[in-house]
Chains A and B, each alone.
Chain A
């Protein structure tokens, strides 16, 4: 009897274990969908534009298509999705996460070739508007390296939410001091000297992560579009060239005009303090995207503060001035179950109806023809989107997909190309050392 009891007890313990690991698949049937109504799973970043736009667009899509959509937006979506994608189960049908977003998930998906070719979406009709997606999208977006990273003419990542990244400043400060808005770098540094005499720094940046938009525009204006395209494909000769060095030297000179506390605050914890510097009139310019006024809406500011927005100055008199076009992406993982439905949803996102919903619920602007319908002249956002109508050229940022090399991080926010800016500003590295490090990394990536 005793023996039987012992055996029973032991098997009970083992059973408990098995119970723990038992698959809970029997709950799967309880999900919102049934075999008749397919479920589209969307996962994405809960970012500056919020979730209201997505919810509104999804509600309309559900009604129109008779499907069910599960939306999961998280601030740390890269961390949330990584194990899901690794496990191969419950993979979202559509992921909304930009190239360059924290966590590097999208870059990993690109370099691991885990993103579905969605070129056929370009031929799909946008609702009942009588145009195809390819016709509806603004030119230049689908062949950018952020959408077509393998340069094979196919579309992999659908562009969404575009906005210019330029330099923000206090328009009132410049007006009251009688300072002209600089159009060239020479004028920029002149202004820097004038401001320094009054104890105001010329420049600050939230974190080095913003240099992808800022420095790429500088590079483009200094080396020209042809060589810039080579830079983005890791061409060693282009990176080694004298003109590229000049762009580095320009940032090196700008480093001398950076507000002194910038480096100390250029991290996830302190970046808003750097953004605050332009509201406090302690620094004039700060590179950022259109979400900045919203992000700093509650922050205290000097009296009379008025948002101003301009492109990166031209390298020479009469040269091209650029403002980087920041654009986010959404894509379908190769192992998504409802790829066709996801494609339909992407096409729907480019409809006027969806674009209006995205814009009125969070301010996101879709890269489609006919945007001016939403952004009227009275709209405060017109200040930013008008930048391209007032002489600035659009600069696309994004490197070609390349096989990752261990220990060589060139392009992330803290990577060699942008992260080293902190050292240049702090004075612990020279521009020459920075340039040499970048060239060495590009060579390693080309091996």
Chain B
């Protein structure tokens, strides 16, 4: 009995530093965000007025916020679907197929992940250049005759968000590919051999063996997709378009930033932050629930 108590004290003492750090750096700041979101505060002075949930009522009538939320959800959905499909296929090809320069491709695909978002954004600013010298526009120009006007990837309000999505997918593929490759490599070879003998095609092997056996990994990456899409979209938007033209590429975090700082409405910015926090929790939870399957043992 005494030993047990001693053990508990020891465990508690060992956990204490980590718990303390977690409380100081995670729990308190998060609670603080919720507290500040109930204030009318410019962010600099001691002049804070408690306004209750007023910031939230303004928020849900603010069409700029709704538009930025729509953009963010669009980014999450499209980036997740395309990146996941492409990186799964690439991972499967590199691990499963007997192709040359495997390691070379592995490195090439991973490179965008090492580059900083600012560098990637600068690269894509050149790719999307609206003049005929732009990389994409000069290629498109080959297929179009005289009098063709170039596509304004970052200037057309209907296209700009997809242009940002394109850059985000390019950046993300390598990272997720490496994650999928790790779990695909762990699948025992004999399963594929047995499937081959039974006459299963490559595609069937992919859908019936690979996908089910790395399902847990896919589920984990789905949460990553949500969090990283929300975070990275801010950086891409900030560098490539500053939310423009005229707010067309604004995402929730870039809108939070411009409200909290440029518009000196810190309390309002934190209300946006609180909504994003809750939203990403709900989204991750819902996706995790919807994709729950029995883990297959092998």
Contacts and interface: CB of A to CB of B under 8 A. Distances in A.
Interface of A: 3, 6-7, 10-11, 13-14, 16-17, 78, 82, 85-86, 103-105, 107-109, 111-114, 207-208, 260-270, 273, 404-409, 412-414, 419-423, 426, 428-429
B43 A108 contact: yes
Interface of B: 6, 10, 13-14, 16-17, 20-21, 40, 42-45, 47, 55, 58-59, 62, 64-65, 121-122, 125, 128-131, 149-150, 152-157, 239-247, 258-259, 261-265, 267-268
Contact of A104 (B129, B152, B155, B261): B261
A3 B9 CA distance: 11
Given A268-B242, A269-B240, A14 B264 contact: no
Contact of A111 (B14, B58, B241, B264): B264
Contacts of A17: 17, 20-21
Contacts of A419: 244, 246-247
Given A86-B44, A409-B258, A264 B153 contact: yes
Interface centre among A13, A262, A267 (most CB of B within 10 A): A267
Contacts of B44: 82, 85-86, 108-109, 112, 114
Contacts of A263: 152, 155, 245
Which A-B residue pairs are the 5 nearest by beta carbons?
A264-B155, A10-B13, A422-B245, A264-B130, A406-B268
A406 B244 contact: no
A5 to B, nearest CB: 11
Nearest to A429: B246
Contacts of A412: 258, 262-263
Contacts of B6: 3
Contacts of A265: 130, 154-155
Contacts of A406: 40, 55, 58, 62, 259, 263, 265, 267-268
Contacts, number: 161
A269 B262 contact: no
A261 B44 CA distance: 39
B47 A407 contact: no
A404 B264 contact: yes
Contacts of A404: 42, 263-265
16 contacts: A10-B14, A82-B261, A104-B261, A111-B42, A261-B130, A263-B152, A264-B130, A264-B152, A269-B240, A406-B259, A407-B58, A407-B259, A414-B247, A414-B258, A422-B244, A428-B157
Nearest to B45: A112
A87 to B, nearest CB: 11
Nearest to A88: B46
A423 B245 contact: yes
Contact of B245 (A10, A108, A273, A426): A426
Given A6-B10, A407-B65, A422-B244, 11 more contacts: A3-B6, A11-B13, A13-B17, A108-B44, A265-B130, A406-B58, A414-B243, A414-B258, A426-B155, A426-B156, A426-B246
Contacts of B20: 14, 17
B239 A269 contact: yes
Nearest to A404: B264
A407 B240 contact: no
A6 B154 CA distance: 61
B262 to A, nearest CB: 4
A283 to B, nearest CB: 12
Contacts of B155: 261-266, 426
A423 B246 contact: yes
Contacts of A266: 155, 244-245
Nearest to A271: B242
B246 A104 contact: no
Nearest to A209: B242
Given A6-B10, A269-B240, A428-B157, A113 B45 contact: yes
B263 A104 contact: yes
Contacts of A207: 242
A442 B272 CA distance: 23
Given A86-B44, A108-B42, A264-B155, A13 B14 contact: yes
A91 B100 CA distance: 60
B262 A422 contact: no
B131 A261 contact: yes
Contacts of A423: 157, 245-246
B43 A86 contact: yes
Interface centre among A103, A107, A109, A112 (most CB of B within 10 A): A112
A17 B20 CA distance: 9
A414 B152 CA distance: 19
Nearest to B268: A406
B134 to A, nearest CB: 9
A407 B65 CA distance: 8
A270 B154 contact: yes
A426 B55 contact: no
B261 A103 contact: yes
Contacts of A103: 261-262
A409 B245 contact: no
Contact of B45 (A3, A104, A114): A114
Nearest to A425: B245
A407 B265 contact: yes
A133 B218 CA distance: 69
A103 B130 CA distance: 28
Interface centre among A11, A16, A113, A407 (most CB of B within 10 A): A407
Contacts of A105: 261
Nearest to A12: B17
A404 B44 CA distance: 13
Contacts of A270: 125, 129, 154
Nearest to B16: A14
Interface centre among A85, A265, A269, A420 (most CB of B within 10 A): A269
Nearest to B133: A273
B138 to A, nearest CB: 14
Given A406-B265, A412-B258, A426 B157 contact: yes
A413 B10 CA distance: 58
A103 B129 CA distance: 26
Contact of B259 (A13, A16, A269, A409): A409
A413 B258 CA distance: 11
